[in-house]
């Protein structure tokens, strides 16, 4: 058998059709080699930091080709702007510097994500023929740009002291577990860990193994399977299916996007943990939320908290009256929707969530009390007043009903997030509300039995109490080191096994 050196060499080169992702055999091979050397360098901080930066750059090259130079440009630009801004005492100069940082970062996003979007609008307004520009969206640009902007804004606000070493800032921006799909890590949380001595306790190793296994199961076993075998078929042609099939296709997508994105976050955080870094969770069972406000405290936590701290608060937050608060919520979510992509579908999705947040904020300021005379409604002055007025409905019933309505609102909004066009979204809504045909349900379950089993397992695991999930983590953490190693090897072998089948890219790579 002849060894094909060119084919072997091509494995290490960028391929637009096959970007490197966590759940691929090639990444597992590279990461294993990288980890062996990384551990050997545990007593040489400077070399270890530079080594990880170089590996991160290569990882991004394998994901987006030569666009890794854009990441390096952002790193250099914001590093030197932050240092100049910190020593500058003139307020207008400091403001000019932070504007330069934000403008450069948003300018990159605008070019790569929105050039065709705005050009199409311009052509429609002027009656010209629209021919899209061939602009490739670098993977993860939205994440590392937001990360870098938060650093310069924090330095501008005097909440953070800038770094002295360029390699430390490059480490923060390019840290490969978080580079292409988050979570968006904050400088104040991550930077203090960079130069700490490398130490991975048995507990950290156990947690890392558990998160990698959990993320892989969510992505490869649940998300990909129900996507290929059910969800994609429904969303491609909703008019070919009954309303009940469309509804369960929607339930399937709600589970798919959660398992896909939270699965990536779990693997990213797990890999970071194995490298000796603590990263905050990005998801906390979001479909258990009893209100839309709670949902955004549990879903994509790193983005929602970023929007809150750097957009909502910058707009005035809740400091300028109730009407302005509601408006700020809507604007924040509108821009959050636009962050996901250059499409009116995402704007609509963001607007729905913004209005829902504003409505919930308004309702939270109203007291409802059930009396013999009827329902009494008044405006509340404070939280104590709210607790006194919140009587007449048992807490469990309120919680369950809140979870039910919040889940279905979120699912409804997912229609616009997932559908390729508005026409498809409207078609799906029409099928659900005018062509339901519940009698098709038994036949649907029988025809998609394996899919429904996967969905049932996914939702059951999702609604498991957090205490139970923590017990599972503790069991893995408390296992002997050799057993943890065996679990990790089993995960690697499992990844290699599923490599023979089609591996779908992560949904959030497109954002």
pLDDT in tens, 165-193: 999 999 999 999 888 777 888 888 899 99
Tell me how far apart the alpha carbons of residues 205 and 187 are, in angstroms, rounded to a whole number: 24
Q: Write down the pLDDT at residue 5.
A: 60
- Would you tell me how many other CB atoms lie within 10 Å of the CB of residue 168? 17
Terminus-to-terminus CA distance in the chain, angstroms?
43
The answer to whether position 27 is within a domain reads yes
52: closest CA among 41, 61, 43? 41
Torsion of CA 505, 20, 267, 301, to 10 degrees: -60
Choose one of 147, 169, 198: the last residue of a domain: 198
pLDDT reported for residue 128? 86
Question: What secondary structure letter does DSSP report for 391?
Answer: B
Angle at 402 between CA 399 and CA 403, to 5 degrees: 85
In a domain, 36, yes or no: yes
Cα three-residue angle 364-367-369, rounded to 5 degrees:
135
One of 300, 340, 353, 462 is an active-site residue; which one? 340
- Same domain? For 334 and 272 the reply is no
Q: Assess contact for 364 and 290: CB atoms under 8 A.
A: no
Q: Are residues 169 and 214 in the same domain?
A: no
Predicted local distance difference test score (pLDDT) of residue 259: 93
pLDDT at 499: 47
Indicate the number of domains in the chain.
3
What pLDDT, on the 0 to 100 scale, is given for residue 391?
47
Output the pLDDT for position 7.
65
* Residue finishing a domain among 198, 225, 245: 198
Task: Note whether 155 and 15 are same-domain residues.
Answer: yes
Tens of pLDDT, residue by residue over 266-319, are 999 999 999 999 998 899 999 999 999 999 999 999 999 999 999 888 888 888
State the DSSP string of 76-124: HHHHHHHHHHHH---HHHHHHHHHHHHHHHHHHHHHHHHHHHHHHHHHH
360 and 450 inside one domain? no
- Find where tokens 């590392």 sit: 144
pLDDT at residue number 6:
64
The answer to whether residue 409 is domain-embedded is: no
Same domain assignment for residues 235 and 206: yes
Domain with 442, as residue range(s), is 200-283+419-511
DSSP conformational letter for 67 = G
Token couple for 73 = 């440009």
Q: Give the list of residues 6+ apart from residue 325 with CB closer than 8 angstroms, or none.
A: 316, 317, 318, 358, 361
Residue 376 is predicted with a pLDDT of 46
Note whether 105 and 231 are same-domain residues. no
401 inside domain: no
Task: Name the residue among 66, 259, 154 with its Cα closest to residue 169.
Answer: 154
Do 185 and 151 contact (CB within 8 A), yes or no? no
Whether 173 is in a domain gets the answer yes
In a domain, 17, yes or no: yes
- 305 and 374, same domain (yes or no): yes
- What is residue 4's predicted lDDT score, i.e. its pLDDT? 62
Q: Are 267 and 310 members of one domain?
A: no
For the chain (511 residues), the mean pLDDT of every run of 10, in chain order, is 62 72 75 89 90 92 86 94 91 92 92 86 85 82 90 92 93 89 86 89 84 86 89 93 94 94 91 91 92 94 91 85 89 90 88 93 67 49 49 73 94 94 92 91 92 93 84 80 74 58 64 63
- What residues form DSSP beta bridges with 367? 378
Q: What is the pLDDT of residue 494?
A: 63
Residue 386 lies in a domain: yes
Same-domain status, 85 and 122: yes
64 inside domain? yes
Last residue of a domain, one of 147, 167, 198: 198
| 340 tagged catalytic | yes
Q: Which residues contact 277 (CB under 8 A, 6 or more apart)?
A: 175, 190, 193
Judgement on whether residues 277 and 304 belong to the same structural domain of the protein: no
Tell how strand 366-371 and strand 374-379 pair up.
Answer: antiparallel
Other Cβ atoms closer than 10 A to 355: 16
- 258 and 178 in one domain? no
Q: What is the pTM of this model?
A: 0.86
Please name which of 354, 286, 283 lies closest in space to residue 325, comparing C-alpha atoms: 354
Whether residues 15 and 142 fall in one domain: yes
């Amino acid at each position: 058998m002849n060894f094909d050196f060119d084919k072997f060499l091509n494995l290490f080169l960028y391929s637009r059709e096959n970007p490197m992702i966590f759940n691929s055999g090639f990444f597992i091979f590279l990461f294993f080699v990288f980890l062996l050397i990384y551990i050997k360098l545990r007593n040489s901080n400077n070399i270890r930091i530079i080594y990880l930066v170089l590996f991160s750059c290569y990882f991004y090259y394998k994901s987006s080709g030569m666009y890794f130079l854009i990441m390096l440009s952002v790193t250099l630009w914001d590093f030197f702007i932050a240092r100049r801004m910190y020593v500058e005492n003139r307020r207008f100069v400091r403001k000019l510097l932070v504007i330069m940082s934000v403008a450069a970062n948003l300018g990159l996003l605008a070019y790569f994500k929105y050039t065709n979007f705005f050009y199409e609008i311009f052509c429609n307004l002027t009656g010209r023929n629209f021919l899209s520009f061939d602009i490739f969206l670098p993977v993860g640009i939205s994440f590392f740009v937001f990360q870098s902007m938060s650093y310069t804004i924090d330095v501008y606000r005097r909440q953070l002291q800038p770094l002295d070493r360029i390699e430390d800032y490059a480490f923060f921006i390019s840290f490969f577990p978080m580079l292409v799909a988050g979570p968006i890590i904050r400088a104040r949380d991550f930077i203090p860990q960079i130069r700490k001595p490398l130490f991975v306790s048995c507990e950290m190793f156990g947690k890392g193994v558990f998160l990698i296994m959990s993320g892989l199961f969510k992505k490869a076993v649940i998300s990909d399977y129900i996507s290929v075998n059910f969800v994609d078929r429904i969303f491609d042609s909703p008019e070919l299916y009954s309303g009940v099939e469309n509804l369960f296709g929607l339930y399937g997508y709600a589970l798919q996007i959660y398992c896909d994105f939270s699965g990536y976050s779990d693997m990213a955080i797990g890999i970071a943990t194995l490298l000796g870094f603590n990263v905050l969770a990005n998801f906390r069972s979001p479909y258990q939320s009893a209100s839309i406000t709670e949902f955004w405290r549990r879903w994509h936590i790193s983005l929602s908290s970023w929007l809150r701290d750097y957009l909502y608060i910058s707009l005035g937050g809740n400091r300028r009256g109730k009407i302005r608060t509601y408006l700020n919520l809507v604007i924040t979510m509108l821009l959050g929707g636009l962050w996901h992509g250059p499409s009116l579908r995402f704007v609509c999705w963001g607007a729905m969530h913004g209005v829902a947040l504003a409505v919930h904020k308004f309702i939270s300021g109203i007291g409802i009390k059930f009396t013999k005379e009827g329902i009494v409604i008044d405006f509340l002055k404070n939280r104590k007043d709210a607790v006194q007025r919140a009587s007449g409905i048992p807490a469990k019933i309120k919680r369950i009903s809140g979870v039910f309505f919040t889940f279905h609102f979120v699912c409804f909004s997912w229609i616009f997030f997932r559908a390729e066009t508005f026409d498809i979204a409207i078609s799906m809504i029409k099928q659900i509300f005018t062509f339901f045909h519940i009698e098709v349900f038994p036949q649907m379950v029988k025809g998609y039995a394996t899919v429904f089993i996967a969905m049932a397992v996914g939702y059951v695991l999702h609604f498991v109490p957090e205490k139970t999930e923590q017990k599972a983590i503790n069991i893995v953490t408390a296992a002997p080191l050799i057993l943890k190693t065996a679990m990790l090897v089993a995960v690697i072998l499992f990844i290699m096994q599923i490599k023979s089948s089609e591996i779908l890219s992560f949904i959030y790579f497109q954002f």
